[in-house]
Amino acid sequence: MNTLKKIGLTALGTSLVAGSAYAGEITASGDAGYTYSSEEIGAYTDDGYGFNHDITFSGSGELDNGFTVSTTMILTETAGLSSSNVALTMGGMGTITIGNGLAGVGGAFDDVTPRAYEENHDGMKTTTAIDSVGSLSDGNQVMYSSPSFDIGGGSISLMLGYTPEAGDAATGEGGVSVQSASFGSSTTAGVNVSFGGLTAGAFGEEVQNDKGDASREANAMSATWYANYSFGPVSVGYQTGGLDHGINAASTAATAAKTIAAAGGDFEFEKMSIAFNVNENLSVSWGELEETYDAQDNASSAIADVTMESTSIQFAYTMGSMSIKGYQTDTDNPGWDSDAKSDEVTELAVNFAF
């Protein structure tokens, strides 16, 4: 009996000593504000006021070997969990991250051209292809991010991801991935290269179609590449890519609305933008996005390709912890529907950081 007590106390003492070598802290930060939004479709206009607030809880600590562990949790105005993750940074060997709401590796490449405020699709009332790059792999992905390596005066960094079951469901402690009815595992990879004022990168995603789902006829994929260049207060950017979710569906007529989740064929996109820092407080930008639905079926004139176009003008003004931002985004052929009325969305936002 006494021997067992000694063993237990020794083990407890060892764990306390090991734990004392780990120093960490928890911090909280956030932002809050108001929005006004107006949407004009044809001759009809809807508008409304809204509010937003995000509260971010962050924790970090350092191990004896120099590795660091960090965690982040973001709560939104709906009392919902926006994202949550744990990251292990292994010194000069890179970082491993597992979590939810991060948008996976694809989230670092889905729309990266310069802008003053939001991505074009924020003012578009449809799910866009450029915003869906890597979207099938953003649920329970394990991500690896390399450090930046110097190459001839520039730098290069890599991102890799693996998802055992493609989908959006989070996996908690001790859980297993929620099995997808349509997809199996997925792999993603991205690379960024910087040299002087030029930054360029590429991303690819492949999702295995190994569940025998009759609604899928091939592996799903998405890919993109971009190039941004900054000179003085001006930044210009170009991005292109596409996706094909391998959906086995009848071709959709040009005069009918489509969705990425259900339409057969593929979607291609091309984005150009320019941003200008007027001074240290004010910036403005212009961006144009074209997305083409290709039914891959030209048997009849009714199954023609349709291009959805959007133009977004934006501004952002900051005064310390306060910011005033806005955009106006016009979309033609929303939903890749050639008969749809044009859609114009205007948003003004006042935000406070704390």
In b/e form, how buried is each residue of 269-304, taking b as 16+ CB within 10 angstroms?
bbbebbbbbeeeeebbbbbebbbbbbbeeeeeeebe
- Total Cβ atoms within 10 A of residue 315: 17
- Give the pLDDT confidence score for residue 10 in this predicted structure: 40
- Give the pLDDT confidence score for residue 304 in this predicted structure: 79
343: domain CATH number?
2.40.160.10
Domain membership of residue 196 (yes or no) is yes
pLDDT-based confidence at residue 9 (cuts at 50, 70, 90): very low
- Give the pLDDT confidence score for residue 17 in this predicted structure: 41
- Give the pLDDT confidence score for residue 184 in this predicted structure: 79
- What range does the domain containing 266 cover? 112-353
Could you tell me which of 21, 113, 53, 22 has the C-alpha nearest to residue 350?
Answer: 53
CB 207 within 8 A of CB 218: no
Q: Which residue has the higher pLDDT, 14 or 103?
A: 103
Residues 6+ apart with CB under 8 A from 55: 28, 29, 30, 74, 75
Inform me whether the pLDDT recorded for 231 exceeds 90: yes
Domain membership of residue 22 (yes or no) is no
Q: 174: which 2 tokens? A: 């001790």
Domain membership of residue 59 (yes or no) is no
pLDDT digits (tens, 9 = 90+) for 74-98: 888 776 777 788 899 998 899 999 8
Domain membership of residue 101 (yes or no) is no
Q: Which residue has the higher pLDDT, 44 or 116?
A: 116
Domain membership of residue 34 (yes or no) is no
- Give the pLDDT confidence score for residue 168 in this predicted structure: 63
The domain total for the chain is: 1
First to last CA, the chain: 56
Inform me whether the pLDDT recorded for 129 exceeds 80: yes
**What does the pLDDT average to over 232-240?**
97
Mean pLDDT (the chain) is 85
CB 74 within 8 A of CB 62: no
**What does the pLDDT average to over 300-318?**
88
- Give the pLDDT confidence score for residue 174 in this predicted structure: 57
Q: Where are the alpha helices (DSSP H) in the chain?
A: 2-20
313/295 Cα distance (integer angstroms): 31
Domain membership of residue 326 (yes or no) is yes
- Give the pLDDT confidence score for residue 178 in this predicted structure: 58
318/283 Cα distance (integer angstroms): 9
- Give the pLDDT confidence score for residue 293 in this predicted structure: 93
Domain membership of residue 314 (yes or no) is yes
**What does the pLDDT average to over 198-222?**
83
Inform me whether the pLDDT recorded for 3 exceeds 80: no
**From 10-19, 244-253, 293-302, the region with the lowest mean pLDDT:** 10-19
Q: Which residue has the tokens 């051209």?
A: 113
Domain membership of residue 20 (yes or no) is no
What pTM was estimated for this model as a whole? 0.85
Strands (E), the chain: 23-41, 44-62, 68-75, 81-89, 95-100, 142-145, 149-151, 154-163, 186-195, 198-207, 220-231, 234-244, 266-277, 282-294, 306-319, 322-332, 343-353
**What does the pLDDT average to over 61-70?**
89
